[in-house]
Amino acid sequence: MFLLSIFSKMKSEIREKVLRHEQGLYFYIVFPIAVAFILTFISARIISHFWPDIYIPWAGIHVHHFAYGFFVLAIAGYLALVFSGPRAKYLISLLHGFGLGLAFDEYGIWLNLSDDDPARWSYDGLLIITGVILILLTGRSGIRFVRNHLPFIKHPLTPDP
């Protein structure tokens, strides 16, 4: 419920920012991207741990899921250029986070270009993306954004329900 409450607030804030053409939309887009990224990364790690031989064979080649992540990122980028509505921005941010999760899960393969124990590098990719997100959120407006959107913090201007 907690996560759904936050997603609901994010969706409504994104809608208001887009419809009013207000600045600061990118802070509201970061949260759905981050959550989709983390959930996808964790899911990919769990699936690849328990079922390491699951992949879509293509012409006898083992295509790693980071390749799918790049395709998803390309599609999300195109959709972001084509659609500008509030709902589209929200859904595209989730799609972008999903693509990042798939791509950065196999970050080690990017660097090594081999299948020799890339798991450690995947966690480095997670840390890099998490660090970038934290840097964005720790700016003054990022802190204000987090403070205003956590459901358990009372706001002085908001009446009690």
pLDDT tens track for 74-124: 899 889 988 988 889 999 999 999 999 988 887 777 666 554 555 666 666
* pTM > 0.85: yes or no: no
Which tokens go with 38? 């983390």
Which tokens go with 24? 């600061």
pLDDT tens track for 17-62: 888 888 878 878 888 898 899 999 899 889 888 887 777 777 777 6
Residues 6+ apart with CB under 8 A from 4: none
Residue-range domain boundaries for the chain:
2-149
